[in-house]
């Protein structure tokens, strides 16, 4: 593993353009308290929620963590999820100028319970 890290360090600075599906991963933590009366589906009492870059956004975040100069290129919605995603990517040093906010569609959110 140390050899791999040394080789990656020698490549800096790498410039990467990431084109893809930019989305938000949402993890919902909670307790299943009972089943609904309509179907055998648990009712979840939400304890906490975390949100992280997902899809191509996650690729950008991982590349930036390895000190690559990353530029994101894709489409998001024009909504709070998009703004949160762009804020997260920007704080990781990712250039988000290539992300277009489309008001006719929502930002994709992958929710895991």
Tell me the pLDDT tens digit for each residue of 27-64.
999 998 888 888 888 888 999 999 999 999 999 999 99
What mean pLDDT do residues 6-11 have? 74
Q: How far apart are CA 46 and CA 65, in angstroms?
A: 31
Which positions ≥6 away from 87 have C-beta within 8 Å?
none
To the nearest 5 percent, what fractions of the chain are helix, strand and coil?
25, 50, 25
User: In the chain, where are the structural domains located?
Assistant: 10-23+54-112
CATH topology of domain 10-23+54-112: 3.40.1190
Flag whether pLDDT at 12 surpasses 70. no
């Amino acid at each position: 593993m140390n050899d791999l890290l040394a080789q990656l360090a020698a490549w800096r600075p790498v410039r990467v353009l990431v084109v893809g599906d930019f989305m938000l991963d949402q993890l919902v933590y909670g307790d299943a308290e009972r089943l609904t009366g309509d179907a055998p589906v648990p009712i979840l009492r939400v304890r906490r929620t975390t949100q992280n870059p997902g899809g191509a956004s996650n690729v950008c975040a991982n590349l930036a963590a390895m000190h690559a100069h990353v530029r994101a290129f894709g489409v998001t919605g024009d909504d709070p999820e998009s703004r949160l995603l762009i804020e997260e990517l920007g704080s990781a040093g990712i250039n988000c100028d290539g992300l277009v906010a489309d008001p006719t569609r929502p930002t994709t959110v992958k929710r895991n319970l």
